[in-house]
Amino acid sequence: MTFLSPWRLARLTVRPSEAGEHLAAATPEAHDVILRLVLPLSVVPPALAWIGGATFGWRLGGGEPLYIPAGGLALISLAYFVALVTGFVSTALVASWMAGTYGARREFGAHLAFVALVGMPAILASVAHLAPHAFVNMLLLIPALIWCLYLLYRCLPAALGTTPEQGILMASSVVAYVLVAFVSLLGITVVLWSGGIGPSLGV
């Protein structure tokens, strides 16, 4: 399928109506989407974060940058990659599970491709990781996330073959899942910190 390339998908993010039609016409296999989109896209942010963190150190504010040892940085980047792949796959699983309720198509491959499309702006904005300052990253990632939301609401009905009204309901349910998944990730990370894995904290 033509859109099963990161470059093509990146172009579709700025053409939402075309993106919906492309995805609607396609019946991609799940393993194809994983190999050609999910895995390559999931490599980008951790790789950029690794380069930025190793070169400049992370600035969260409050003085000198935090330099994490090379081994720790590699481990964090690997965990980031796993979290992204899990995020793509689990969101697609949840969306295909919801599809019956909202009258949408149920093929897992189509959901994976749609989730990859929606996540694309955030992947592109992860170029901010090269300048590892927490606020700079937020400044670039927040507009990108708003664009992700726009793509979700705008493209879902066409891409997954449901009515615009059911599309709004399904998109809102996906937003709920993603928010809960993200905050769970924050929670798990903090529990690991408290348990002594990661930065040296006085807890």
CB of 72 to other proteins, least distance (A): 14
CB of 56 to other proteins, least distance (A): 16
CB of 36 to other proteins, least distance (A): 30
CB of 118 to other proteins, least distance (A): 15
| Sequence-ordered strand ranges (E) for 123-188 | none
Q: Please, which residue, 1 or 127, has the CB nearer to other proteins?
A: 127
CB of 198 to other proteins, least distance (A): 9
Q: Please, which residue, 5 or 65, has the CB nearer to other proteins?
A: 65
Report CA dihedral (155, 5, 28, 21) to the nearest 10 degrees: 30
- Phi, psi of 58, rounded to the nearest 5 degrees: -85, 130
C-alpha pair distances (Å), 157 with each of 18, 23, 33, 166? 13, 11, 20, 8
Q: Please, which residue, 14 or 179, has the CB nearer to other proteins?
A: 179
C-alpha pair distances (Å), 70 with each of 51, 54, 79, 198? 11, 7, 14, 12
Report the SS3 class of residue 44.
helix
| Sites of contact with other proteins (CB under 8 A) | 60-63, 66, 101-102, 134-135, 138-139, 142, 145-146, 149, 163, 165-166, 168-169, 172-173, 175-176, 179-180, 183-184, 186-187, 190-191, 193-195, 199-203
CB of 137 to other proteins, least distance (A): 8
Gap between the terminal Cα atoms of the chain: 51
Q: Please, which residue, 70 or 142, has the CB nearer to other proteins?
A: 142
Q: Please, which residue, 25 or 142, has the CB nearer to other proteins?
A: 142
Report the SS3 class of residue 59.
strand
Residue written as token pair 């109506």? 17
Q: Please, which residue, 54 or 168, has the CB nearer to other proteins?
A: 168
Task: Yes or no: say if 16 and 155 are a contact pair by the CB < 8 Å rule.
Answer: yes
